[in-house]
Structures are given as structure tokens and as C-alpha cells.
A and B are shown apart, each in its own frame.
Chain A
Amino acid sequence: MNIPPTFLNSNTVVLMRGITKEFYGFKALDNVDFDIKKGEIHVLLGENGAGKTTLVKILTGVYLMDKGEIYIDGVKRDIRNVGDAVKYGISIVNQYPQLIDELTITENISLSLRSLGIIHRFNKIKEKIIEYSDKYSFKLDPDKYVRDLSFSERQRVEILKAILLDSKVIIMDEPTTLLTTWERKLIYQFMKRAKEEGRSIVLITHKLSEALEVADRITILKKGRVVARLNAEDATYGKLMKLMFDKIHAKTVDRKRDVDSRNEILRIEDLVVLDEYGRKAVKNVNLKLYSGEIVGIAGIAGNGQRELIEAIYGVRRREAGKIIFLGRDISKYNARELRKLVGYIPDKIPEAVILNMPIYENLILKKYDDSMILRKKIFIDYKSVYKYSSSLISEYNIAAEDPGVDAGTLSGGNLQKLVLARELSLDPPLIIAVNPSKTLDHFSTELLHSTLIKYRDRGKAILLVSEDSEEVMKVSDRIMVMHEGNLYELGSKDEVDLGLIEEYMIRGGEVEEVIKVG
């Protein structure tokens, strides 16, 4: 038996040593050690891109490490694929649930259960799903297709999967970021229970308060290295902040809205939009957006926000209603014109970036047909494009070797900067940002928010669509909530509190009735 020297405690179920992983020559993990004890909640902290997800994906067999060793219960093991990890009792609840839309809950779960033969007919497993779903009050219908599930329901499916696999280590990658208070409670409850049952939990989170509340131990990653390992008793908010970030984060920029010069930028009347399956995703929505303001639309994913913004941005057909942009109906704009007047920062990178194209060609996606870039109206002047790109890269601090490398080799945060650089450089009167901080850590989020607020202060309009109620609360001037295709205007920032937003996010219009009656 080759028991490693650092294997101190017989309670240790997993020990990862010297883990190194490169993507495109970029070290996402550099000689990382990590261990998990039986029955503990181990919080993994770290800023955006620190390598947390990469580390746990190695443990669960999704990625292969370049160097390192993994010991399970003191024995050196190879984890070559997901099946190996499952065999050793390790499973993951992903940052973005990884389930197959076109399969039912039962079918999805059955895929990971190796004990079920390929001719299994789902009857037994279905019973089990119902049993466990009740036990943890998950409220899941095993015959529902995953495409019809909300974000939180999908996450519960993944948790259920981990339970049915009887995993002794359950990794939860930012499970609470996109949840409402009630759903969050469900997760905490589950973790407590799992711990009592002797399972270990690895919790990845950006929320320091959450970390302090539930953790037994905390490991902090920074730029692919472990910078600290501490017991929860020794951790304080300030200490964690200092360990996680180099700089003390910027103060939120003061708001000085110029209320006098309010021009209407966008007006939506009785808008109806359908989703891919022909269902009404946006139901008679009305909205006005003025220059110099940020309107925040909160809502749980899948309540019609996506369809709404796609209709505004002109990539989805309207079923009925009007969208007036700068005094003209958007159908009067040609597609290119509209794209140049509306900046769009999506949460899905492939909508904005061509991963297999060099950075400089990505930066001109909205500009390539401008006269400043063209010679003789048709030839792209690549020399000046290159120069222009280099200047944007340094202005927005994009970490890239040179503008000639493929955009796909950038890290997630840098890809977002690339999009931001391109969209803001067009100086559009309207910016639509979708979950802009979904994958950002504290510091980058602050920076992004202050960029958006500064942009607003130049008299521009911003439509912020987010699943994160706190984000909406923090940066918006007016707050709305979208629920099941309806848009509810809750009022200005000062008239609304977080609780009300979340009530609406969960229950939509029913809240009004309660208020009226009460």
C-alpha cells in the first residue's frame, strides 16, 4: 500500500496531491493539494477563474489532470472517467446542471446508475425517485422532461442523482447562486442531512457569508494555487476577503442621475413572444426605458426573460405588440443597424464570440462594415484592425498574448471583457446585459457594475436582466420582475426591498392579491 506521507488522518476520504492542469498552455491548476474528511462540509473558495470547477471536474473524472495523484480512502486510484469517480462514491452537482433536455428525469438519472443494465425498463428506478423526492421534499415528477424544468428543479435532479448513487462525497458547484430564499433553504437542509448521514460535502461558492455559515473547513484557491486552508472557527469575513483578492475592491460609483434630460429610448407595448415549442413565453408585456437609467428585470431563468430580450434585440420574432426603439418600430431597422445601436452582453458566450476566430476578428464583428475599417468600401484593412484590437485589449485589460490568438483560448472572465470591450466601443444608446455577473467573482462584479453605472451616467439606457435579485437591487434605478411571461413593475429602487423581489420571482402576480387582501 502506498500511503502518502501527508495522509494524516484516517478520517480523510479523498486526498488530491500536486494536481496540475493546463488549458491551451494556461495553468488552470498548479500543484494543488486538497483533501476531504468524512462527514464534513468543505468549502472551496476563490475568485472567478481560480480553478475551483476545474479541480472538482478532475476529481469527478470529467477532465484529466496533467500531473498529480488522487487517493481514495488511503489508496491511490486512477480516475479516468466519470464512471471511475462514481465507482469510488464521488458525484457532483454542477454549476450549470448538466442534464439532457430531451430526456425525462427518470431517463437522465438512470444514465448515471451503473447498476442498471442497458435493458432496464425504468419501472423500479421510477419508484425510487418518487420515494427519495418525497423524503427530501424535492417535488419532482419523474416523467417530466428536463426541458420543462426550472433551474432549481434541474439542480434537485442532480442532487437526487447523487443520493441514488449513494455517494459518500457530494460536490456542489455554486448551488445557491441562482436560487430564491426558499430553494436555498432546501439546499442547506439537504447538506445538513447528508452530513448527518456521514457523507462529505464539497461546497463551491462565491458567497462568503454562506461559507462562514455552513463550513467546517475552508480552502481558498487563487489563480490555480491553494493560498489558504483553515478551519471555520478561524475564519472571518475580512480575513477571507483579504485571502481571496489582491486588491481591496472598488467602491460602488456614486449615482448621479440626470433626471431632467430623460428621453424615451425603448417602449414596448403589449408584446407577445413565443418560445421554441410554440408556447407563449412573453405575455402582453409593457415596458418603457429612458436614457440615463438602469432598469433591472429580476426573474428565475425560464420565465420569458430570454424571449423578451431576444425580441428586443431582433433575433426572435414577435407574435404581437410593438417595440419602439428611439422612436421607430424595430422592424424598421435592418438587422445590422439595430445591432450597432444595441449593445448586448449575453450570458452565453457563443452568442457573442466566435471561439475559433482570432481575437482581432472577433472585435470587429459589429464594425467590419464600417467605413473606418474598409478600404474602397469592400476591403477590410486588417493592419488597422490589428492596431485597433491591440488598443482595446490594453484598455480593457484582456489577458491575451496577442490579438492573433483564437478567442477560444481566453479564460471565461477575459471572454466577457472582450464582449464588453466590443459592445461599449460602439457607444450604443442601449445596453442589454443578461446575468452579467453570473460567472464573476466579487471583485470583477464590482468592476462590471461600476462600468455599467458610469455608462448610464453618460445618458445611456441599460436593461439589466438577472437571476440574481441582489444584483438587480444593487444597480437598478427601477426594478421589475418577470414571472411566467408577465412583467411586474415593482417601483424605484427606494420603494422595493429584496424580500418583495423574491416573492414576485417565486409567485408572480399572486403576491398582489395577497397584498390587496392584507
Chain B
Amino acid sequence: MISLDLIIRAILAGTPLLIASLGEIYTERSGVLNLGLEGIFVLGAAVSFVTTVDSGNVILGLIFAGIAGGILGLIHGIVSVSFRGRQVVSGLALTIVGYGIASLIGAKYVGKPLPTYIYIGDKWIILLISELAIAFLLWYLLFKIKLGAIIRSVGEDPISAYGLGVDVVKTRILTTLFGGFLGGLAGGWYVLGYIHIWTEGTGMGRGWIALAIVIVSAWNPLLAPIFSLIFGGVEAAIWRFQLPPYNFNPYLLGATPYLTTLLILVIFMATPLKKYFRPPKALGIPFYREERTI
């Protein structure tokens, strides 16, 4: 049942999840929760499709998807960091906006074929290795050099970080921008590198799963590939089980990624494993430099 084919599909399905969650790990490590990731992913998917259909160039498609995601990330940064808006609300609003823009710009493109896409084929091993390398690099930057110390400091204790001379607002906005860029890129990859088609609603729900991966990976880039692969595997398995000889009901199967996410969250939070999941202390808390400290 677990064939090589299934594993490859798991890697392919897991790739966009990994890209999105790696970016969000950086965002959350700096203390910003970006629930807009969902909308960013969906928008990235639409933008990459539209761009590639028009230009015939996948690289352009990916770049524009990343830029669109980056813009939404920047908006989230400005609203929640500069204006101290509630991060959950701002993120949700952004998701809604992302959905809306995606359906607006994609409306005229529904049903059009992609002139070109990213074909992985038997190069999946290269894909896997580069994913692991990127995850390692992001881990290294986060934990072994000053840049990482800066990011983590504003996510743990922004007031002290500010007192030490860190520009909290700038750092948070930049990580949110970075997370948005990767989120958009992930949506683009999802269309160009995985499913190769687009209709209204393509990519919906993936952003939420990426957010869950961030939690169960304990905000650690090194763990994200493992969980991305697991969720990718669930998706691959759904596809497999719809086909003969299994012929499972597609709707019930469609609930499994979400059920899996819920179960994994519960398993990690309700067991001694919980000890490893200490979120950044200031996650979700706005920063005001003149906040009273006693």
C-alpha cells in the first residue's frame, strides 16, 4: 500500500505546505501570528496561475505569487505591528481579502490550461534534498547567528529587546513580509508544481494546515519537513483511496486532512510531548515602547 509512488506524491503535496510553514515559523518567532497565511496561499495560487497563463513563464509566476503574498504580509505587519490591531482579526481579514482578490483576478481565467508548469518527475529526490537544505539553512540562521537572536528576542520579550537596542517594529514587519512572501510562493508552487490547474477556491484550507504544522513543529524549521511530509502523505493517501479498488467516499476522505490536523494537535498538546511546545512568549502581543513594565 505504501508504494514509492505514494511517497513521491507525499513529497510533492508536502512541498507547498513546507514552504508556507517555514515562512510562518519566522513570522511567529518574531511574535506575529499571521492567520492571513490562508488567504496569502490562495492568492498566491491565483496570481501564479494568471501570470503563467499570460506570460508562459513559471518563474515569473512564482515571483509574482511571492510578491502578492509579500504585499499581504506587509499589510498584516503594518496593521498589527504599527497599528497594534489584534493579530487574529487582522489575519482573518486578510484571508478574506486574499480570497476576494483571488476570485476577482482569476474569474476570467477559469478553465484555461497552463501553458507550462514545473515538472518534477523523477527529480523528486533533488526536490527533497533541497527542501531539507533550505530547512537546515533557515534553522541555522534562526539559532546560530545574530539575525536569529534578533528575531527570537522580539518574539520572546519585545520590551527588553527594545531596551537592548533592537528595532522591534522593523524586525516584526520584515519577518511578516518574509512569511507572506514564502506563503505566496507556496501557493504558486501548489498550482505550478503540484496540481497544475486552477479554479476558484484552489488552495483553500492549505494555509490553515501550514499554520498547524508550525505549532506541531514547535516553531523549529528542522521539524517542519517531517510534518509537511505527513500532511502531504495524508493528501496523497486521499487521492489513492478514491480510486479503485478502494473507492472511498470523496467527501468523507476530504475531511481527513482536517481531522488529522486536529488529532495531531490534540496528541501533542494532551501528552507529555507538550513540554516541547513552548510558543514564543510574546506571540500575538502588540508592542508599545512606553508600556509600563511593573
Contacts and interface: CB of A to CB of B under 8 A. Distances in A.
A–B proximity contact (CB within 8 A)? yes
Interface of A: 23, 60, 62-64, 81-83, 86, 92, 94, 96, 98-103, 107-108, 110-112, 114, 116-122, 161, 278, 348-349, 355, 408, 412, 439
A214 B57 CA distance: 73
B294 interface: yes
Contact of A63 (B150, B281, B290): B290
Interface in B133-176: 144-147, 149-150, 152-153, 156-157, 159-167
A100 B165 contact: no
B108 interface: no
A229 to B, nearest CB: 27
A83 B169 CA distance: 14
B293 interface: yes
A405 to B, nearest CB: 15
Contact of B161 (A63, A111, A121): A111
Interface residues of B, number: 26
Interface centre among B149, B150, B275 (most CB of A within 10 A): B149
A23 B157 CA distance: 22
A272 B159 CA distance: 34
Interface centre among B162, B167, B290, B294 (most CB of A within 10 A): B294
22 contacts: A63-B290, A82-B162, A82-B164, A83-B165, A96-B293, A98-B159, A100-B152, A100-B153, A101-B157, A102-B152, A110-B146, A112-B164, A117-B146, A118-B145, A119-B145, A119-B147, A121-B145, A121-B146, A122-B144, A122-B146, A408-B292, A412-B292
B145 A120 contact: yes
Interface string B47-76: 000000000000000000000000000000
Nearest to A349: B294
A102 B275 contact: no
A376 to B, nearest CB: 35
Contact of B165 (A82, A122, A439): A82
Contact of B156 (A100, A120, A439): A100
Given A110-B149, A118-B147, A412-B294, 16 more contacts: A23-B290, A63-B290, A82-B162, A82-B163, A96-B294, A98-B164, A99-B160, A100-B152, A100-B156, A101-B281, A102-B157, A111-B166, A114-B165, A119-B147, A121-B144, A349-B294
B112 interface: no
Interface of B: 144-147, 149-150, 152-153, 156-157, 159-167, 275, 281, 289-290, 292-294
Nearest to A439: B294
A107 B289 contact: no
A439 B293 CA distance: 12
A64 B157 CA distance: 20
A62 B162 contact: yes
Which applies to chain A's interface (DSSP): helix, strand, loop or mixed? loop
Contacts of A120: 145-146
A103 B149 contact: yes
Nearest to A108: B164
A111 B292 contact: no
Nearest to B162: A82
Given A103-B156, A120-B145, A83 B167 contact: yes
A103 B157 CA distance: 10
Contacts of A108: 149, 153, 164
Contacts of B153: 100, 103, 107-108, 111
A118 B147 CA distance: 5
Nearest 4 A/B pairs, CB to CB: A98-B160, A107-B149, A118-B147, A98-B163
B165 A111 contact: yes
Contact of A102 (B156, B163, B294): B156
B149 A111 contact: yes
A108 B161 CA distance: 8
Contacts of A111: 146, 149-150, 153, 161, 164-166
A100 B161 contact: yes
B270 to A, nearest CB: 17
A278 B275 contact: yes
Contacts of A96: 293-294
B171 to A, nearest CB: 10
Contacts of B159: 98
A409 to B, nearest CB: 10
Contacts of B292: 355, 408, 412
B40 to A, nearest CB: 25
A116 B156 CA distance: 21
